[in-house]
Amino acid sequence: MDLLIMECTPKRDKAREGMILKEFLTLPDRQDHVGVKLIEYTNKTDFLNYLNKHICLNAEYNLIHLSGHGWVENKDTAYFYLPKGSVQADEFPRWGHMLGYPHVS
């Protein structure tokens, strides 16, 4: 199984979920082999550009994990926060190419 972790939490956070998840999944004494790639993002533009340019992520990864913070302002407005910028749900690419994923977390 191959996993892409997109770490979007601020570096000042003591417990950065994506980093911890990668460390756990790549421990040397684990019986199962998990290929893990960690990419760190600090700004909205780079994050969205990566998602828009890599339209065949499902050919490379079985799972994608977005590690970050969010906020629900009301029933119609929610944000995914990055250290420099926030992404509303309608700004994410239309991920029709990801419909074959068994799980997107």
Find, among 51, 36, 57, the residue nearest to 82 by Cα: 51
Kindly report, residue by residue over 14-47, the tens digit of the pLDDT: 778 888 888 888 887 767 677 899 999 999 999 9
pLDDT above 90 for 57: no
Does this model's pTM top 0.85? My answer is: no
60: enclosing H helix or E strand: helix 57-60
How far is residue 75's CA from residue 72's CA, in Å, rounded to a whole number? 7
